[in-house]
Homo-oligomer: A and B are copies of this chain.
Amino acid sequence: MTTVEERLAALEDLVRGLRDERDISQLIAAYGPLVDDGDATGVAGLWTEDGGYDVDEMSMSGRTEIEAMVRSDGHQGLIANGCAHFLGPAHVTVDGDTAIATCHSLLVVHRGPRPDEAKPKSRFIVARATAHHFTLVRTADGWRVAQRTSRVLDGRDEAHLLLGNGVRGVR
């Protein structure tokens, strides 16, 4: 026979697990909207103070470098032209105070009318499809990204592997 006390403890465990996954999903779902709004502090605050973000040729370490990327001419130019950093639903695996997550993203950018168009129209193109692998840690302020590794899905093995490892809960 299971006592009320035991049932309550089991339920508390289960609910904490659901809450952890919810928190992590929301953290990742916040990235695209914040980075498209150019909210450098908000974006960097998704990471731990010394968290890392390694994306192809560029590797950032700590919130200051992540903020600088959001404030860079390159990123601000994307925003000024119109862009969507569109992340998919994250697959999340929690293990105590750390977690692994993965998702795809599409960088969709706006292109204005071409000069020679009879009937000018704006259009959107998929500039990049990217694989993301997140290592997350539980901090006093909630879950934060400790390391994010992102690779363009142009056929390089490491990009596809980030996705598979992310689902398999492997770092």
- Interface pick from A61-69, A139-147, A151-159: A151-159
- Chain B: which residue is nearest A28 at the CB level? B89
A104 contact from B32, B81, B154, Cβ within 8 A: B32
Min Cβ gap A6→B in Å is: 11
The residues of B that contact A110 with a CB separation of less than 8 Å are 129, 153-155
A84 contact from B21, B37, B123, B153, Cβ within 8 A: B153
A131 to B106, CA, bound (A): 15
Number of residues of chain A lying within 8 A (CB) of chain B: 67
Which A residues are closer than 8 A to B by beta carbons? 4-5, 7-8, 11-12, 14-15, 18-19, 21-22, 25-26, 29-30, 32-34, 36-39, 42, 79-84, 86-92, 102-104, 106, 108, 110, 112, 122-129, 131, 152-156, 159-161, 163-168
The residues of B that contact A38 with a CB separation of less than 8 Å are 160, 164
A106 to B160, CA, bound (A): 16
A37 contact from B89, B154, B161, Cβ within 8 A: B161
Min Cβ gap A163→B in Å is: 4
The residues of B that contact A161 with a CB separation of less than 8 Å are 37
The residues of B that contact A167 with a CB separation of less than 8 Å are 30, 33-34, 37, 39, 42
CB <8 Å contact, B22 and A21:
yes
List 19 interface pairs A-B (beta carbons < 8 Å), by A numbering: A11-B12, A14-B19, A25-B89, A29-B88, A29-B90, A32-B163, A33-B164, A34-B164, A80-B155, A81-B155, A82-B153, A84-B106, A87-B89, A106-B106, A106-B108, A123-B125, A123-B126, A124-B127, A124-B129
